[in-house]
Structure 1
Amino acid sequence: MSPRLDTIRARLRDPSWMAGGSGAQRQAWAVLSRHRLLERLAPWPARLAGTFPLDLGVEGSDLDLLVEVTDLDAAAATLDQVFGADSNYARVHGTFTDGPAEVASFTLDGLTVEIFAQAWPVERQMGWLHLLAEARLLHARPDAAEPLRALKRSGLKTEPAFACLFGLCGDPYAALAALAEAPDDLLDSIAAEPFQP
């Protein structure tokens, strides 16, 4: 495993650094800490994912939390109990590429929070793998941030925006997941290519 991958992974595991990040990151961290979201999810392992750790948030971006649960039915009841009183609370059961999940969403301080719970370790969930690959590509090409925000403002989700900009072929979700723990030289070669229009 590369030292660069280890450094990026460690930074993503502890998002408290966002308290000193961009304005959007500080806002996201304030919501996360003020409402004690990680504590309210305990004892489930949870990680922050999505656009805020990448500083790619645009208007309407969610604060995404990935959670590992052992029993989805019990998780559904717990999510309803713990977060059901929060504004605009809704929960759905869905089946995704990496399996079934309970997805709860609600609004705190004007920011939509989405909790994605699966019976699968957080760092093996697709959302985490996408985050890791995206963070690594941004590390290699920091100048990609504004073009990515522009693509997101045009309506693209984060993963398709990365695939479009970096010329990743096929399903953008699968392509990014495959890059999560790929060798640094592969990510460097992808990042070295001119951005796609």
Structure 2
Amino acid sequence: MENQFRNINYLEEGNGRQKSAYKLLKKLNLFEILNNYNPVLVGTIPIDIDISNSDLDIICEVYNHDVFEKTIIQFYKKCDIFHIERQFIGRLETSFSSFKYDDFCIEVFGQPKPVFNQNGYRHMIIEKKILDLGGEKLKEEIKKLKRSGMKTEPAFAKYLGLKGDPFEEILKLSLLSEEELFRFVRGQQKVISV
């Protein structure tokens, strides 16, 4: 499953919103411009649980934040609502940029670690596995919770009955074997449907 997200070509064959995202990302040449940073699209659009105001979230592997930020500024500063900042998240220096282009808000996030080890990617992969196990009913319930104003991880946590920090609890599910995850998701669905 994880290999399917390594480049954005899968979006071209997806639903309407995924196709629109693909065209926009190609138009912006974003993945080519940021190629040295191993960009990966994460979040709700790749796994088809986005709602009308969902962002395009792109994570990158960044060790030189000055050069990375200069690149983003050079190519995207003229976009609407452009913002860029640097902060520490979990002791990691992190660059964060956001801007709007056409109908999409785009967020570009860079940390000094491989993208496949970053939490945004890890969340997306476990959420995709949960959705595959839970089927269309679970997907629709997650979208419903998101439309009510919840963020993605809290929506999954609520649906699955997870207690504590939803971001951490979702990551803990990624440590389960496929069989354990299957039993957990199916067990939670029986509890919730009663």
Q: Which amino acid aligns with 1:75?
A: F
1:175 paired with 2:169, answer yes
Give the equivalent residue in structure 1 for 2:144: 150
Give the equivalent residue in structure 2 for 1:5: none
Give the equivalent residue in structure 2 for 1:56: 49
Q: Point out the more displaced range, 17-26 or 77-86.
A: 77-86
Alignment of 1:26-105 (within 5 A): 26-97=19-90, 99-105=92-98
Partner deviation per Cα, 1:113-160 (whole Å, 9 max, x = no partner): 100011111011110110111011011112211111110011100111
Q: Aligned with 2:3: secondary structure?
A: helix
Higher relative contact order (CA 8 A, sep 6+): 1
Count matched residues. 190
Provide the TM-score with structure 2 as the length reference. Answer: 0.91
Q: Point out the more displaced range, 36-45 or 173-182.
A: 173-182
Q: Point out the more displaced range, 12-21 or 144-153.
A: 12-21
CA RMSD of aligned residues (A): 1.7
Asked if the contact 1:166/1:191 (under 8 Å) is kept, the reply is: yes
Asked if the contact 1:159/1:176 (under 8 Å) is kept, the reply is: yes
Mind listing any 5+ residue stretches in structure 2 that lack a counterpart? none
1:17 paired with 2:10, answer yes
CA distance in 2, matches of 1:183, 1:74: 40
Segments ≥4 residues shifted beyond 3 Å? none
Provide the TM-score with structure 1 as the length reference. Answer: 0.89
Mind listing any 5+ residue stretches in structure 1 that lack a counterpart? 1-7
CA distance in 1, matches of 2:72, 2:131: 33
1:159 paired with 2:153, answer yes
Give the equivalent residue in structure 2 for 1:123: 116
Q: Point out the more displaced range, 65-74 or 92-101.
A: 92-101
Q: Which amino acid aligns with 1:156?
A: M
Q: State the identity as a percent.
A: 29
Q: Point out the more displaced range, 145-154 or 30-39.
A: 30-39
